[in-house]
Amino acid sequence: MAGTTGAAAAGARQLTLALIKPDVAAHPHRVETILRIMRTNGFEVLQRKRLRVPRELAETFYGEHREKFFFPRLTNFITSNDLEALVLARPEAISVWRALLGPTKVHRTRITNPGTLRGLFGLSDTRNVGHGSDSPEAARREIGLFFPELDYDQLWEAAQKPAAPTSS
């Protein structure tokens, strides 16, 4: 299986799913700021789409939290308005994207990690700017949920080729 264990090889680029949640996606200038931060940190955006998440997808995506008290809050929020879904690539994409997002507890993050995306734009533990896959296996599953039209293995193979230079 390409991309799950092979991504740990030296120099290999990992894939991760990045979501820019509805609270931030509603503000184009914030989305552009986040995209600029992604590029500055060496990410290549392989795929991007704006979508309104259907309830069934939200419930599948957050399925591990189904029995928790906050499950309805998560699913109601992520289905409330459009969000941006992106497939990002770079070495160590998962850990780097999650570090850029910052800790999920926004009230603490504003004090301890104010320069992170959640420190800058987060409003609450639910309205916390974005999501990042937490493992290569989660990235494969989540990319499949938000980009079912893509073949993950082909996407991973394409990510291993050097990125085309971009003009700034």
Residues with a catalytic annotation lie at 131
Annotated binding site: 21, 70, 98, 104, 118, 128
Rounded CA separation 143/15 (Å): 9
Q: Which helix (H) or strand (E) holds 122?
A: none
Rounded CA separation 38/97 (Å): 8
DSSP conformation class of 142: H
The tokens for 79 are 């289905």
Annotated binding site for ATP: 21, 70, 98, 104, 118, 128
Sign of CA dihedral 74, 133, 147, 63: negative
* 109 neighbors 118 (Cβ within 8 angstroms): yes
